[in-house]
Structure 1
């Protein structure tokens, strides 16, 4: 299996493993699968592997990973020398720098160079300085293997020699055979004399299963790229690109889940942080696109993900409710309220109840309870209970569409072809003389035609409550009783004066008011009792007169005297 090394500060993606060369080691095939163009994969052309051929690395031996690039550990042609990780043709000068084992690798280096994984690397060279930080000298006078400071992720080998690597990776369990690193170790301290290094921190993909003073690195669960402990619920980042890290702080767990599992239950949503991490975070995580104090939410569509927040909140923590568009949680103690746009101002109720607004306060009520000065208002498919206009006692459909009135303006003046209208006083009722104030309960403004008969356009009400017609429509006359209009005044018994039919002398309006009848005819209609009463009164008066005349010596003829003989 091919593996490669690199300085530990460079984060390794893919499953790390213990290697024999370099600080951060992982399977080559895993790097190929997980890395992206432009990163490590794009730079793998540093090392060309083949079974033979000049300049080629031996098959499967491009396994030294330094500074983000692949380097060779054994040449395909045994006569070539491995200098700075590359196979080159041997020359007299180069042969001084690399003592070969005739198998395409170096076993010892000359001055100005040091041994590392089968090759000799120049002190201060472009590749060498990534392992040993010592600078180069003009004539390569640094003693072979005499490195004074190793790069991060390596420790200084106590056994410095031309045939020993001066720097050993903290995770290199092989080392020089005597001095070695530990599995999964990222940073370490060199052994005092010989043996294994003392590990201080672990590589990505490992966690400390020991103590702070005695670090032991154990491999993370296969689902984790990094972790804080053993098991699939201790991940701190995910290995697979389509997984999201879901953390439960109360339980102290974090695991890698797919998008569907993240959304399940509605308490979390999947997102990508500003530094590129995929997380499954709580709906209340405002820093990453959630809504503060939100308990349940739904991710917005892809088209609106750029908006802030990136979720629509549907439920908030205690005593708070989401606003109408689900972008924030608002203080809301109204019983039965589903949404509040501002503190304690309900905009939508639960179930079938509707919002009632009274004196600036909101409540949730049944639609049937919206009465006594309130009306049900419908708008955009929703209903609310709104207060009637101050002039209305009750209303319907709109605030100013009154159905009954208050005492200060007691008359309901209905809109044409409607059962609702406006509330006015008596003067407002008779404005234009087309209406009159009807005091019958409930008090209303009636048209002249309603109070009299059809055809009367204007009218007036007398102090006794009687309504008289004042004008009629075209070609019409006011009938004799002033209660309506007729086509023409009744001939012989009436005359027209200014469009009004008036009965001639001795005549009076008939019972239906449309004509005139003789006053005597009206008298003939008196009851028998009334006539008898009149007769008695006449006799009494006449008798009194007879007595007076007798005393005066005057004779007054009796009724019998006037009877025909």
Structure 2
């Protein structure tokens, strides 16, 4: 608003929101532009800054100590440094892609094992597995899938001393070779009979040949609902349960109990299996009260898309009102003609409500709120 004449006027200079007239009165910028320190919007930032896509602002490369030149990384959601200054003049890249500025003495020296090696220009401390940065220059190319390495002399590429899980180094350390499907440790490449340890989420099933099996694969000796485990066939123990499974017992020997009737029904960890239905025998079953995917909705306790929604009113993972033949319960619409809905209600009103006379004896209606039916065994099951 222009305070002089009390009229609304458009913002200037690629501003999306502004505090007044002029190109340096911006609070936020249009898409593709970034807010600078002088409150103007630009599609580029100064040389020692980077365009932060998260905040829509130009931010200083010095967020990384001693960094003078950087760029925004979509993968990291933040800056990666390309040039350092001062005593910490080397750019060091971590395994997760983040960068720091370090002194040369902090990078592995010649003939010394380490996770990084010094490039020929002596301005970067490269990961042993780096095969892309300056790889065309002798002395700058790492070994793919290498964990630790060492350089014998300037001008030579490093040799690998140990490979990442799932790989084993060849005789001269010039390559890391694949162990086998989901195998972490082996003595011979591509030979599962030499596999002694599997990747996380798998266990070693001995046989001809050995096999790395998913911890939760019950058909092959796994544990129902288990995501991570230790041991092998006959001594297998679960250490982490899958989403929508409740862990119980010791941390090193868990029992995983299914929370939802379909472990993937509610969108994994993003969803919620909070709708409890009491069966005829008094046992409790769990159904979706919320869907992790905003385009799916709890219909009959399972997250389904628009085609199954019908005339029920649902949005952003939950339902708010139901059509004829359905009633609203715990964020979902349930049919009175099939399970699990018919376990709770025999008839719904035209407004999509299960009123008191038609509610199963295990359920009751909250006074004055006919759309909120609860189970006597679940005082928290509110819509």
Structure 1 length-normalised TM: 0.25
State the structure with more CA Rg: 1
Structure 2 length-normalised TM: 0.35
